[in-house]
């Protein structure tokens, strides 16, 4: 470890001390403390940390590069984080690629602290390249409509789904038209719908039940009540339970009753709760 903290506090950080602290980021024992001390060094630490991040080798042991990102954010080095996230890096080793994705996720979440258009464009481009949890979280903080289709697509991914759901909840009403369209559009077609499309549409219907459908959309769910996918049919029926139209509510109860014996036990529990809560 470089010079003691009291010495640094009195005299600042020399280039040599900063260089030694940057090297210490790779240490399991000294890395966390080195990151703290680098943050205390101020602007002098930014350029060496940028070199460490931009020229360093990705690794499955991602913590040293993650510490560099966190320290750069603490130092207000927004431009370095944007530069890092703008670059595309080919990483052939899957373990190293997984580790670097953790670094990217951290950088994206930290960069989202700066709520300006330039940051948003960088994060949106990152999201469109790959909808990782960190990219979804970061862009979701901006609550803008351009990202809604990417969030909806991510509902079909087991890793990103919960992050996409939360981003869509934050978006609220601006997401409703796209959610409605996604619920009604199996991909590539109703006859040949893929498993991922079904999972995505189930998630969309769950969100529509939470957020409430767009005004005037009730009748559009009628085809979904006849879906061959039992959960899609059940969740579409659930939406009709909230309608002010008594005819739609009764139709929903009848459809849920017909689906109940064939549903999984988990879905049966949900269906029973829906019916008990019926006004």
Residue 200's Cβ-count burial label (10 Å; 0-12, 13-18, 19+) is buried
Asked whether the CA dihedral 181, 184, 190, 193 is positive or negative, the reply is positive
In this predicted structure, what is the pLDDT of residue 3?
Answer: 44
In this predicted structure, what is the pLDDT of residue 4?
Answer: 46
| Token code pair at residue 110 | 């930290």
Would you write out the chain's pLDDT as a tens digit for each of its 279 residues? Answer: 544 454 444 347 899 999 999 999 999 899 999 999 999 999 999 999 999 999 999 999 999 999 999 999 999 999 999 999 998 878 999 999 999 999 999 999 999 999 999 999 999 999 999 999 999 999 999 999 999 999 999 999 999 999 999 999 999 999 999 999 999 999 999 999 999 999 999 999 999 999 999 888 999 999 999 999 999 999 999 999 999 999 999 999 999 999 999 999 999 999 999 999 876
In this predicted structure, what is the pLDDT of residue 8?
Answer: 45
HSE-CB at 164 with a 13 A cutoff on CA atoms is 25
CA distance 157 to 93: 22
In this predicted structure, what is the pLDDT of residue 88?
Answer: 80
| Token code pair at residue 173 | 């009403």
In this predicted structure, what is the pLDDT of residue 270?
Answer: 97
In this predicted structure, what is the pLDDT of residue 216?
Answer: 85
CA 93 to chain centre: 24
Asked whether the CA dihedral 3, 56, 115, 106 is positive or negative, the reply is negative
Strands (E) located in the chain? none
User: Are residues 22 and 49 in contact, defined by beta-carbon separation less than 8 angstroms?
Assistant: yes
In this predicted structure, what is the pLDDT of residue 259?
Answer: 97
């Amino acid at each position: 470890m470089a010079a003691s903290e009291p010495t640094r506090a009195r005299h600042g950080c020399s280039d040599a001390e900063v260089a030694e602290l940057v090297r210490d980021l790779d240490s399991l024992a000294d890395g966390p403390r080195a990151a703290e001390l680098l943050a205390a060094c101020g602007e002098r630490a930014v350029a060496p940390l940028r070199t460490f991040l931009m020229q360093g080798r990705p690794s499955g042991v991602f913590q040293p590069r993650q510490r560099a990102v966190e320290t750069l954010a603490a130092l207000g080095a927004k431009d370095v984080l944007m530069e890092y996230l703008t670059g595309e890096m080919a990483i052939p080793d899957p373990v190293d690629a997984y580790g670097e994705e953790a670094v990217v996720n951290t950088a994206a979440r930290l960069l989202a602290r700066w709520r300006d258009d330039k940051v948003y464009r960088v994060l949106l481009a990152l999201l469109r390249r790959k909808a990782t949890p960190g990219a979804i979280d970061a862009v979701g903080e901006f609550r803008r409509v351009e990202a809604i289709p990417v969030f909806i697509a991510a509902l079909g991914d087991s890793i990103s789904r919960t992050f996409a759901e939360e981003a869509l909840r934050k978006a609220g009403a601006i997401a409703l038209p796209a959610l409605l369209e996604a619920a009604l559009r199996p991909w590539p077609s109703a006859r040949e719908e893929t498993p991922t499309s079904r999972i995505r549409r189930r998630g969309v219907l769950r969100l529509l039940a939470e957020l409430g459908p767009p005004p005037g959309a009730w009748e559009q769910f009628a085809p979904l009540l006849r879906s061959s996918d039992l959960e899609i049919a059940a969740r579409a029926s659930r939406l009709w339970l909230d309608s002010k139209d008594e005819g739609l509510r009764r139709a929903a109860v009848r459809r849920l009753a017909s689906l109940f014996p064939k549903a999984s036990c988990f879905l049966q529990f949900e269906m029973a709760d829906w019916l008990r809560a019926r006004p």
